[in-house]
Chains A and B, each alone.
Chain A
Amino acid sequence: MTTRKNPIRREVIISGVGYSQIARSTGRSEGSLALEACKNAISDSGLTVDDIDGIAVWPDRISSVFEGPSIAYMQRALGLKQTRYWQAFGTGPAQLSSVVGAIHAIVSGAAETVICYRAHLRQEQRFYVAGSTGTGGMLASGDLAFKAPYGVPAGSPRWALWAQRHAYEYGTTDEHRGALVLTCREHAQLNPRAIWNGTPLTMDQYLEADLISSPLRILDCDMPVDGAVALIFSSADRAPDLRGKPVYVESMGHATGPTIDFDCWPDVTKMGAWYAGQEMWAGTDLKPKDVDVAQVYDGFSSLAIGWLEDLGFVGKGEAGDWLVEGNGKLGGQMPICTDGGQLGGGRLHGFGKVAETVLQLRGEAGERQVEGAEVALTCAGGGPLATSIILTL
């Protein structure tokens, strides 16, 4: 039973999703990729560019490795004529901050149809070049002063610190994380868009993979790619105008507990996902057992394990065995990361999760389709950062 006011319930639909080319190296700009994804999403929706009256982005160009084309660039490139709602999130609880903004804007009446996009260029070259990691070169100010000089400006070591504590408290093993990675890789074989499509993986190969930051190996870290995904959200009033089936937003959680700082978080075995989950489940009558397919966030294998536990799909410390038993595979109890996830499909930074969820609910997921999927979970984030959404037909 819903226990909080939830004005977004069935008031907002996802009207279109679009992908760009996805590859290890395209030689293209972020703007080019984002534009391709946006145009594909508009075509997919059946709406026109003139129906779009809002644009929301996270993060706007902020001189970090996570930058994409700026909101100004994309507003101009799409030729938007009547932008009533315009929001760029400099920071915020996770990759779907822009999606949250879009949904809130539509429910409030600030806009009727909002486009969101996320573009990435493969980043690892930039990660290892001095001065290009967002640490401000040799000088670390603000929060980074407490992080960068100790070799943890961002990225894998911070996730590793969280994963190691989870392993200590709950006995999470390499094989548990490996089961998650293999589940994703197996699903990637059924998705022609997935970057690891055509390259299966065995547990032995996983266990032999290069250590990045213990306990995480390179295959625990998602695959950097060039690529973009765009999502279009509309008022439910527009449902009759769509090309395909509308997908409804049922409930959403976008809460992070005490802070969004990784290193000031009191109990790292309980991620921001737990708080987002509390908010999301309180806004719907649906329960974890009602979810047919879940795109849990797998920027790192350890995060997907955390999401499964923190959203209540399994008990604390139980995700590893649940995965080893095959419950997350297609045909299993609740298939996860059906597009291969980010570990098998490539780092689309949460937006791929939403797009895949829409394809699953529409019944357009091809060989990897979960038959009869009606209730789906999508989410993004890790550590303190979390957004989770229940989508339904």
Chain B
Amino acid sequence: MTSLDLFMDVHLDVPAMPWTGPVPIPDIDSAAFWEGLSQHRLLIMRCDECGFWIHTPLAGCPRCLSSNVSAQEVSGRGVIYSFTVVNREFAPGIKPPYVAAYVDLVEQDALRLLTNMVNVRIGDLHIGMPVQVRFCDIGEATLAMFEPVTEEK
């Protein structure tokens, strides 16, 4: 039996290396996103015509149907929309406990990334918490994880 209470004092660190979990494979639409992460920049697809932000990346804008989209850098700031403390190995090589979260970026309503929370005590997490991107190199790729906003940024 494991209840949530037992996880409250767990501190979530950035992933230990070597990485044993799934590795993302970029495709044509997502190449700029993943390339940006490898440079520790959060690049999100945006419509060049109407300015709509698009994630996950698409080949065109779902709001105005323009084909002119490009990856542009965002602030990396957001808030937790939802999160879950996971107590099973759902993806091979990602060991529990970990926290999966939806983070809404500040640039646009519901501009949402599925991600993991790091550098935080589980008991301190809450929906609405301001967070910032934390780039985590996993060898062949870089993942965009999130941590609580720190004062100096």
Q: Which residues of A contact B (CB under 8 A)?
A: 127-131, 133, 135-157, 160-162, 164-165, 168, 208-216, 261, 263-264, 266-268
Q: Is B91 an interface residue (CB 8 A)?
A: yes
Closest 8 CB pairs of A and B: A130-B92, A145-B24, A160-B84, A148-B22, A165-B82, A141-B25, A266-B110, A140-B22
Q: Beta-carbon contacts of B1-28 to A below 8 Å, as 1s and 0s?
A: 1111001000000000000011111110
Distance in Å: Cβ of B15 to nearest Cβ of chain A = 10
Distance in Å: Cβ of A218 to nearest Cβ of chain B = 9
What CA separation (Å) do A204 and B40 show in the bound complex?
48
Contacts known (A142-B27, A151-B21, A210-B1); A135 close to B127, Cβ less than 8 A: no
29 A-B residue contacts at CB 8 Å? A131-B92, A133-B91, A135-B22, A138-B22, A138-B92, A140-B25, A141-B25, A146-B24, A146-B114, A149-B21, A149-B23, A150-B100, A151-B86, A151-B91, A152-B90, A153-B22, A156-B88, A161-B83, A161-B84, A161-B100, A210-B1, A210-B87, A211-B2, A211-B3, A214-B86, A216-B84, A263-B56, A266-B110, A268-B82
Which of the residues A153, A161, A165 comes within 8 Å of B91, measured between beta carbons? A153
Provide the residues of chain A in CB contact with B1, threshold 8 Å: 208-210
Interface centre among B25, B26, B34, B101, by most chain A C-beta atoms within 10 angstroms, is B25
5 additional A-B pairs beyond A150-B145, A212-B88, A213-B86, beta carbons within 8 Å, are: A135-B22, A138-B92, A150-B116, A211-B4, A264-B55
Distance in Å: Cβ of A57 to nearest Cβ of chain B = 27
Residue of B nearest to A148 (CB): B22
Q: Is B138 an interface residue (CB 8 A)?
A: yes
Residue of A nearest to B136 (CB): A149
* CB <8 Å contact, B22 and A149: yes
Q: Is B102 an interface residue (CB 8 A)?
A: yes
* CB <8 Å contact, B56 and A146: yes
* CB <8 Å contact, A150 and B84: no
Provide the residues of chain A in CB contact with B4, threshold 8 Å: 211, 214-215
* CB <8 Å contact, A135 and B92: yes
Provide the residues of chain B in CB contact with A153, threshold 8 Å: 22, 90-91
Q: Is B112 an interface residue (CB 8 A)?
A: yes
* CB <8 Å contact, B30 and A157: no
Provide the residues of chain A in CB contact with B82, threshold 8 Å: 161-162, 164-165, 168, 268
Distance in Å: Cβ of B48 to nearest Cβ of chain A = 21
Provide the residues of chain A in CB contact with B143, threshold 8 Å: 149-150
Distance in Å: Cβ of A104 to nearest Cβ of chain B = 27
What CA separation (Å) do A140 and B46 show in the bound complex?
24
Distance in Å: Cβ of B144 to nearest Cβ of chain A = 9
What CA separation (Å) do A97 and B4 show in the bound complex?
36
What CA separation (Å) do A247 and B77 show in the bound complex?
54
Q: Is B72 an interface residue (CB 8 A)?
A: no
Contacting A at CB under 8 A, from B62-120, are 81-94, 98, 100-102, 109-110, 112, 114-116
Distance in Å: Cβ of A221 to nearest Cβ of chain B = 10
Provide the residues of chain A in CB contact with B55, threshold 8 Å: 264
Q: Beta-carbon contacts of B28-63 to A below 8 Å, as 1s and 0s?
A: 001000100000000000000000000110000000
* CB <8 Å contact, B112 and A264: yes
Contacts known (A138-B93, A208-B1); A263 close to B87, Cβ less than 8 A: no
Distance in Å: Cβ of A272 to nearest Cβ of chain B = 16
What CA separation (Å) do A97 and B132 show in the bound complex?
40
Provide the residues of chain A in CB contact with B88, threshold 8 Å: 128, 156, 212-213
Provide the residues of chain B in CB contact with A149, threshold 8 Å: 21-24, 91, 94, 138, 141, 143
What CA separation (Å) do A210 and B3 show in the bound complex?
6
What CA separation (Å) do A165 and B128 show in the bound complex?
11
Q: Beta-carbon contacts of B115-142 to A below 8 Å, as 1s and 0s?
A: 1100000000001000000000010010
* CB <8 Å contact, B90 and A210: no
Provide the residues of chain A in CB contact with B91, threshold 8 Å: 133, 135, 148-153
Provide the residues of chain B in CB contact with A152, threshold 8 Å: 90-91, 100, 114
What CA separation (Å) do A165 and B82 show in the bound complex?
5
Which of the residues B90, B109, B112, B145 comes within 8 Å of A156, measured between beta carbons? B90
Contacts known (A146-B114, A168-B127, A210-B1); A157 close to B138, Cβ less than 8 A: no
* CB <8 Å contact, A157 and B86: yes
What CA separation (Å) do A153 and B94 show in the bound complex?
11
Distance in Å: Cβ of B143 to nearest Cβ of chain A = 6
Residue of B nearest to A269 (CB): B82
Which of the residues A150, A162, A213 comes within 8 Å of B114, measured between beta carbons? A150
Which of the residues B23, B90, B98, B102 comes within 8 Å of A138, measured between beta carbons? B23
Contacts known (A138-B92, A153-B90); A263 close to B102, Cβ less than 8 A: yes
